[in-house]
Structure 1
């Protein structure tokens, strides 16, 4: 049962409408003028208002405008009551926010049909708004969880700068850098397929798996190949309906090499002595389709060399013309930044893609890790 406010100065109209609506089990509240209508609204919010445009103390359109300017009352559906020939008033009322009109004299069947149709639409819109609010809350919560998992500062002994910019949709990039021993560090960067809460939650699960694996294996015995195979076994596509790419590395700063494993991820870049090259090396399939063999590349480095890991959101960011940022532009930028310190190089990268995309929204997360040895 819905509560309907009928505002009309004609008693016979109010009685007739009350009789029609009561037969359909609606509760009717009557008001003979604008003043009593506002008094009634202050005592309780109805589910609908049937509003006559010709009242002794108010123009019905003025009442309609006041309702639509009140945040508490603007959502109430209003059906205006007009004369059958008053076409201009009908159009003006609809343009001012009325949802429908009923022409006098009216048929009982028409009243019931129009009232119930608008009540159903109103309930549907309200349900959709609640669903959207809940979804937005879930997205915000997922984004906060993701942000809480990424590092807040560098581990002592390794120079790392990063860019982490989730897109306007919640995505699934996740990364971490932590110390295995005095001279060994573990770094990973993963990118979940798709967007939204599911991708964000999978990224949280991957992060938790890595923490548990590290504890179970022990920092000194952390084996990159075993890690990649166990990751693939634990996140099968059939279970999660999502897959992901990941590049992971163990950096040994004392012995001067990086152990690198790449599962479907964009090719890392190595910057040394002013030149930049892609580390093609061994590249495996995506995580989740049971095709990881645990292949690991060993890459030597010298003081001053830099390694760039990044997700495809960086090279695939689009500008307003529909052009992609691309690998070549990234490589050229890294070459130009070779003489700057690592912090400036990271800022140059951020400035470069932001300038490139302009006002276009990034469709994917943009994440990059720059490591200097």
Structure 2
């Protein structure tokens, strides 16, 4: 049973409409003027309102406007009652938020058809809103889980700062730092394809797989090539309908060596004194049977900085549709070469936010900065 408010100063019209609606199992509330209609709407919260445009105290359009300006009442559908020749009032009412109109004199069949159609639409919209609210709750929960998996602080023995900002749609960036020994660290940064809960949950599975892999081998036995092969073999595209890119590395601070393997990820950069070198060694995507496990060995010097990032950083656009881009990132990094690691990351974050403005990030934004 739906509750319908009938607003008309003509008692005969109210009686007739009530008779039609009650026979169709609707509950009817009556109001003879605009003031009582607004009070009844706030107190009774009807499912639909039949509103005459000619009222003794208010113009019906003023009542309609008051309803639509009230956030608690604006969703209630309003059907206006008008004279058959009052074309301008009908157009004005529809443009002001009314969902339909009924011309006087009216037939009972037309009243029921228009009322029941709008009630069905209103109920559908309410159901959709509930579904969207539930989905948003799921997305927020996925985002919280995802954010909880990334490190909260850098590990002792490794100078590292980062920017990590999940998109408003929830994406699939994930990174971690694992201590393999006193002076040896495993670092990875992965980016799941797509957005939403599926990508976020895949990132959780990848994180869990890596934790289990590390727990199943002895200390110091982490082989980067074997790890990438295992990762590729366990996350096949045909199983998850998703692929991901990942860059993984082992950093040995005692021997000053870096072992690096890149599966489809944006190429990292190494800042050596005044020079910014792009490390181009790259293979295919995880899950696409393209991984050979090619490992690049890099000798490090004191003061070298390594920059890892996901494409969500460089492909972010501002309100004008301009892309942040790799060249802009390189120029900012070169301009920060004499700054501390923390000052560099804060400068990067500030420049990125100013570039983006009020535009929401479509993708996760991740950037890791490691200094040796």
Shared fold (TM-score, shorter chain, > 0.5): yes
Q: 2:204 — aligned with what?
A: 204
**Equivalent runs, 1:1-373 vs 2, <5 Å:** 1-34=1-34, 37-38=37-38, 40-41=40-41, 43-281=43-281, 283-358=282-357, 360-373=359-372
CA contact (8 A) 2:42 2:73 kept: no
Q: Which moved more, 1:284-293 or 1:36-45?
A: 36-45
* TM-score relative to the length of structure 1: 0.91
CA contact (8 A) 1:274 1:339 kept: no
Distance 1:61 1:43 in 2: 21
Number of residue pairs the alignment of both structures matches? 372
Distance 1:37 1:348, change over 3 A: closer
* TM-score relative to the length of structure 2: 0.91
Distance 1:208 1:88 in 2: 64
| 1:256 CA drift (Å) | 1.2
Deviation per CA, 1:294-351, whole angstroms, max 9, x where unpaired?
3322211121111111111222233455443333333343333322222222233334
Distance 2:18 2:299 in 1: 87
| 1:14 CA drift (Å) | 2.2
| 1:115 CA drift (Å) | 1.1
CA contact (8 A) 1:189 1:247 kept: yes
Aligned residue for 1:204, secondary structure, equals helix
Distance 1:276 1:70, change over 3 A: closer
| 1:11 CA drift (Å) | 3.0
Deviation per CA, 1:252-274, whole angstroms, max 9, x where unpaired?
11111111111111111111122
Q: Which moved more, 1:59-68 or 1:221-230?
A: 59-68
Distance 1:325 1:34, change over 3 A: closer
Distance 1:109 1:315, change over 3 A: same
Q: Which moved more, 1:43-52 or 1:158-167?
A: 43-52
| 1:371 CA drift (Å) | 0.8
Deviation per CA, 1:173-204, whole angstroms, max 9, x where unpaired?
11111212111111110011111221112111
Distance 1:206 1:278 in 2: 26
| 1:78 CA drift (Å) | 1.3
| 1:24 CA drift (Å) | 3.1
Gapped runs of 5+ residues in structure 1?
none
Q: CA RMSD in A?
A: 2.3
Distance 1:289 1:169 in 2: 25
Distance 1:293 1:103 in 2: 74
Gapped runs of 5+ residues in structure 2?
none
Distance 1:210 1:3, change over 3 A: same
Distance 1:50 1:243, change over 3 A: same
Q: Which moved more, 1:68-77 or 1:45-54?
A: 68-77
CA contact (8 A) 2:167 2:362 kept: yes
Aligned residue for 1:180, secondary structure, equals strand
| 1:3 CA drift (Å) | 2.0
Aligned residue for 2:186, secondary structure, equals strand
Q: Which moved more, 1:27-36 or 1:209-218?
A: 27-36
Aligned residue for 1:146, secondary structure, equals helix
CA contact (8 A) 2:184 2:252 kept: yes
Q: Which moved more, 1:192-201 or 1:134-143?
A: 134-143
Aligned residue for 2:181, secondary structure, equals coil
Distance 1:61 1:320 in 2: 37
Distance 1:71 1:299, change over 3 A: same
Aligned residue for 1:294, secondary structure, equals coil
Distance 2:56 2:288 in 1: 75
Distance 1:335 1:6, change over 3 A: closer
Distance 2:63 2:323 in 1: 53
